[in-house]
Structure 1
Amino acid sequence: IDVMDGHFVPNLTFGPCVIEKISTISKLPLDVHLMVKDVSKFVDLFISLKPKFISFHMESEVHPIRLCEYIRSQGIHPAIVLNPHTPIDSIKHMLEFVDMVLLMSVNPGFGGQKFLPLIHEKIKELRQMIDKKNAKVFIEVDGGVNGLNASDLEESGADILVAGSYIFSS
């Protein structure tokens, strides 16, 4: 579930009250994707909802390792998000602290954007890095995922695909 504050990305979406309602009617585990400035100011609002994952952008947090440790201490799986332009190498020190890396295959902030094919190489690079470190980290891809590119993303090494616009626009 995308959470946007209008500052980190130029859009607003769900807050904790809406996500709490979703959690009461859905049997699916929640994956809360925080696209907010100053993640540490907001994280407790979402931790209380007990999602399976809380994902945040490297660019939005001064102390990402500390935040990952805190999220994990609350019984939630921490995940780091990389924007399309952020190099994979920037998170090599983070792999032991996260359970998932979310690679954005569009610029974050709006649904329905065109898929950026450069993500295939980034997935392969990240998969090699994860395998080399023998880490147990999922690779999730979000943005422009559809029936035409899903199998290629999986072949590149992605474990989880987010296809919101594809599913809800059908």
Structure 2
Amino acid sequence: MSSVPRINPSILAADFVNMQAELARIAAADFVHVDVMDNHFVPNLTFGPQMVERIQATSPVPLDVHLMIDDPDRWAPGYAELGAASVTFHLEAAREPLSLARRLRDIGARAGVAVKPATPVDALFELLDEFDQILVMTVEPGFGGQGFMPETMPKLRRLAEEARRRDAQVWLQVDGGISESTIAQAAEAGADTFVAGSAVFGNDDPDAAISALREIAAAHAHR
């Protein structure tokens, strides 16, 4: 696990019409978080490979693609082939999560797995070395701007403790309702990678917002 907090702004909160300019505003970010939704796995529709390819071509920072889609076994490798640095699929949607994670790594992307708020994480304990990132959703996936769910923190804490016990080099990410008022809770529970949407893009100075979030997370990092 890493001790350096990563801040990944979510473009769900960006101005889609001016995407290139919006991406230029977050040069201080570690990654840009790209939510792909298919209106099946979650009740919302965003965009697909063509848009991700354009974001990849114009982003000043690497892409952290989060697939909220059915059949990631079929579709996820394509996002890795587009050059995304990290591709995360949902445990609830994948038929063969281990095979898919290995395929993503073979292509050259970091392999991530995400769990919804109600999904247990115990089954992942034996598999921590198979993933580069585990995303604990801190809202129900599908829409930006939702409130942070503190009841997801116990399972994040258990994941962090298990990763530490096994010396697993897996990043623990949280996504949903992350702001200056909630990031400390997630950092204390063990998260080291934070997706923030409106807390970044809603600020007049996104890079300053990123720095502030990073400082709070570092001050409250899980020891």
Cα distance in 2 for partners of 1:93, 1:76 equals: 21
Compute the displacement of 1:87 (Å): 1.0
Considering only aligned residues, what root-mean-square deviation do their CA atoms show, in Å?
1.1
Gaps of 5+ in 1: none
Which residue of 1 is the match for residue 188 of structure 2?
A: 155
Compute the displacement of 1:17 (Å): 1.0
Cα distance in 2 for partners of 1:93, 1:55 equals: 18
Cα distance in 2 for partners of 1:67, 1:102 equals: 16
Cα distance in 1 for partners of 2:200, 2:191 equals: 18
Which residue of 2 is the match for residue 2 of structure 1?
A: 35
Cα distance in 2 for partners of 1:140, 1:112 equals: 17
Compute the displacement of 1:168 (Å): 2.5
Does the 8 A contact of 2:77 with 2:107 survive in 1?
A: no
Which residue of 2 is the match for residue 69 of structure 1?
A: 102
Q: What CA deviation, in whole Å up to 9, does each residue of 1:87-130 have, x standing for no partner?
A: 12121132121011000000001111111011222221110111
**TM value normalised by structure 2:** 0.73
Counterpart check, 1:166 vs 2:199: yes
SS at match of 1:118: helix
Aligned-partner residue type, residue 167 of structure 1: V
Counterpart check, 1:84 vs 2:117: yes
Which residue of 1 is the match for residue 134 of structure 2?
A: 101
Gaps of 5+ in 2: 1-33, 204-223
Counterpart check, 1:58 vs 2:91: yes
Compute the displacement of 1:165 (Å): 2.6
Cα distance in 2 for partners of 1:115, 1:139 equals: 16
User: What are the residue-to-residue correspondences of 1:4-43 with 2, within 5 Å?
Assistant: 4-43=37-76
SS at match of 1:3: strand
Segments ≥4 residues shifted beyond 6 Å: none
Cα distance in 1 for partners of 2:126, 2:36 equals: 26
Cα distance in 2 for partners of 1:2, 1:73 equals: 22
SS at match of 1:60: coil
* Percent identity over paired residues: 39
